[in-house]
């Protein structure tokens, strides 16, 4: 039984407290945990990155991590999904969303609509929140325009400088010169390495990134964690870490990551994100917890994004077929496109009438024509006609 449990907790890589809650009544955590840790450590791979005591970090390439990485790798073999035009459109949306979500994680108050208006207007930011959005947008744009550049200390400092410009008491121009702490509401959560250790630790990180023989997803995950662990700047560390991991993935050719915001995913799973960091920090150098979370988060996002891309490609194909028939006017084509790209599965005459500000009979004729062309299917809901979108 013990051997089977050990195998279960290699695949499902849980910290001590979570393991304890899942053990049989007759097996104590004091007996089981040392055995599990011994097996995990024997399976572990040492990394050329050390903690504050000089002990090397390590990780276990668990079955779960392998499955998650395989999902992401498969996306690189399906690049035909991304036509240049579609990639450009999705990237433009993702850059704005990344700017918004990355700012929100750090406490900015804004919405996608407000951010889009700011970025398209070209006006100067009027608040710290707007400045953070603008900085995140400029930093990500800079990365996309300099993907051929080697990741170096100068490049990282440049990105951090853009991210903290006019939004921090100490805009970044170099590695921090003093001690900092990561604090919660009433307590210190984490004390990073002393400032004197930062340059050496960052050099180790840069060497690891340049010469890593690991899968790019593992490299990006480890680099993300270690950057936050070292905390090389007085401000902007989380934003820079996310930008760094994204650049590693893009330089490895994973163009799909251009189309959705990594910070958006982190924002939605912020509690799990910080817990994964905490688990790794408290696990005697075991980074598996964070790598498992990060690769799982990315793999699920890749699958969701591929589904969305296929959805949009199918919408484009159906729109081309509708246009080719030559039976729809401009309003009807616009409505058909709206239906295909929205999450709505049905439409009524009243909703169509309100959207296009037309007469009731005109709205009814529009929907009947779309039904005749196979886009909609009419059914009665009591005495009211409802038109359902026909998915292919």
pLDDT averaged over the chain?
A: 88
Residue 320 domain flag = no
More confident residue, 344 or 243: 243
Q: What does the pLDDT read at residue 75?
A: 77
Residue 228: count of CB within 10 angstroms of its CB:
22
- Contacts with 335 (C-beta within 8 Å, 6 or more apart), sequence order: 352, 355, 356, 366, 370
Residue 317 domain flag = no
Q: Are residues 109 and 247 in the same domain?
A: yes
Q: Are residues 160 and 250 in the same domain?
A: yes
Query: Burial of 16 by CB count in 10 Å (0-12 exposed, 13-18 middle, 19+ buried)?
Result: middle
Q: Are residues 283 and 336 in the same domain?
A: no
What six digits make up the tokens of 36? 């599990």
Residue 318 domain flag = no
Residue 353 domain flag = yes
Residue 99: count of CB within 10 angstroms of its CB:
29
Q: Are residues 235 and 259 in the same domain?
A: yes
What six digits make up the tokens of 12? 């499902």
Report which of 325, 341, 311, 301 is spatially closest to residue 374, judged by C-alpha positions: 325
116-126 as b/e: b if 16+ CB within 10 A: bebbeeeeebe
Q: What does the pLDDT read at residue 172?
A: 83
pLDDT in tens, 281-322: 888 899 999 999 999 999 988 888 887 777 778 888 899 999
pLDDT above 70: percentage of residues in the chain? 96
pLDDT in tens, 20-40: 999 999 999 999 999 999 999
Among 72-86, 112-126, 346-360, name the one with the lowest average pLDDT: 72-86
Report which of 110, 153, 152, 137 is spatially closest to residue 239, judged by C-alpha positions: 137
Q: Are residues 345 and 300 in the same domain?
A: no
State mean pLDDT over 57-78.
Answer: 89
Q: Are residues 171 and 266 in the same domain?
A: yes
Q: Are residues 234 and 361 in the same domain?
A: no
Most confident of 79-83, 168-172, 204-208: 204-208
- Residue reference for tokens 């688990």: 279
Q: Are residues 82 and 151 in the same domain?
A: yes
Q: How far is CA 333 from the centre of its chain?
A: 34
Among 67-81, 82-96, 208-222, 268-282, name the one with the lowest average pLDDT: 82-96
Residue 381: how many CA atoms within 13 Å on its side-chain side?
Answer: 11
- Contacts with 103 (C-beta within 8 Å, 6 or more apart), sequence order: 110, 115, 129, 132, 133, 136
Domain boundary among the residues 266, 282, 309 is at: 309
Q: Are residues 372 and 301 in the same domain?
A: no
**Considering all CA atoms of the chain, what is the largest pairwise distance in Å, rounded to the nearest integer?**
77
pLDDT band at residue 218 under the 50/70/90 scheme: very high
Q: What does the pLDDT read at residue 62?
A: 94
State mean pLDDT over 194-220.
Answer: 96
What is the count of structural domains for the chain? 3
Residue 25: count of CB within 10 angstroms of its CB:
5
pLDDT band at residue 80 under the 50/70/90 scheme: low
Secondary structure letter of residue 379 according to DSSP: E
Q: Say which CATH number the domain at 203 has.
A: 1.10.3290.10
Q: What does the pLDDT read at residue 65?
A: 96
Residue 322 domain flag = no
Q: What does the pLDDT read at residue 351?
A: 93
What six digits make up the tokens of 366? 């529009």
Q: Are residues 120 and 269 in the same domain?
A: yes
Residue 365 domain flag = yes
Secondary structure letter of residue 79 according to DSSP: G
Residue 32 domain flag = yes
Domain boundary among the residues 309, 339, 354 is at: 309
More confident residue, 218 or 100: 218
Q: Are residues 162 and 206 in the same domain?
A: yes
What six digits make up the tokens of 200? 């050496």
Rounded to two decimals, what is the model's pTM? 0.83
Q: Say which CATH number the domain at 366 has.
A: 1.10.10.10
On the question of pLDDT at 81 being above 60, the answer is: no
What CA–CA distance (Å, rounded) separates 237 from 249? 19
Domain boundary among the residues 257, 274, 309 is at: 309
Q: What does the pLDDT read at residue 108?
A: 65
Q: Which domain holds residue 66?
A: 56-309
pLDDT in tens, 168-193: 777 788 999 999 888 777 788 889 99
Q: Are residues 163 and 289 in the same domain?
A: yes
Residue 49 domain flag = no
């Amino acid at each position: 039984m013990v051997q089977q449990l050990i195998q279960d907790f290699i695949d499902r890589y849980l910290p001590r407290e979570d393991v304890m809650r899942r053990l049989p009544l007759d097996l104590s955590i004091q007996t089981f945990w040392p055995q599990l840790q011994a097996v995990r450590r024997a399976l572990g791979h040492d990394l050329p990155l050390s903690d504050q005591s000089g002990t090397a970090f390590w990780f276990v390439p668990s079955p779960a991590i392998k499955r998650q990485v395989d999902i992401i790798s498969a996306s690189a073999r399906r690049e035909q999904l991304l036509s240049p035009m579609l990639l450009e459109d999705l990237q433009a949306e993702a850059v704005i969303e990344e700017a918004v979500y990355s700012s929100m994680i750090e406490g900015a108050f804004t919405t996608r609509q407000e951010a889009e208006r700011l970025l398209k207007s070209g006006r100067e930011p009027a608040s710290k929140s707007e400045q953070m959005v603008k900085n995140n947008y400029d930093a990500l744009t800079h990365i996309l325009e300099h993907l051929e550049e080697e990741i170096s200390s100068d490049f990282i400092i440049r990105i951090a400088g853009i991210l903290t410009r006019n939004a921090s008491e100490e805009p970044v121009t170099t590695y921090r010169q003093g001690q900092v702490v990561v604090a919660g509401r009433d307590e210190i959560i984490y004390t990073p390495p002393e400032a004197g250790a930062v340059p050496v630790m960052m050099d180790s990180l840069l060497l690891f990134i340049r010469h890593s023989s690991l899968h790019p997803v593992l490299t990006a995950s480890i680099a993300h964690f270690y950057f936050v662990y070292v905390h090389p700047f007085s401000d902007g560390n989380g934003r820079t870490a996310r930008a760094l991991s994204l650049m590693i993935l893009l330089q490895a050719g994973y163009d799909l990551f251009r189309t959705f915001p990594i910070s958006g995913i982190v924002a939605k799973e912020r509690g799990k994100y910080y817990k994964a960091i905490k688990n790794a920090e408290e696990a005697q150098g075991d980074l598996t917890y964070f790598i498992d979370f990060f690769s799982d988060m990315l793999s699920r996002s890749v699958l969701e994004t591929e589904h969305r891309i296929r959805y949009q490609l199918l919408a484009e194909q159906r729109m081309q077929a509708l246009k080719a028939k030559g039976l729809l006017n401009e309003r009807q084509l616009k409505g058909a496109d709206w239906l295909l790209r929205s999450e709505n599965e049905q439409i009524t005459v009243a909703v169509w009438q309100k959207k296009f500000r037309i007469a009731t009979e005109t709205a009814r004729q529009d929907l009947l024509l779309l039904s005749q062309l196979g886009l909609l299917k009419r059914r009665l809901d009591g005495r009211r006609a409802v038109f359902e979108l026909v998915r292919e």
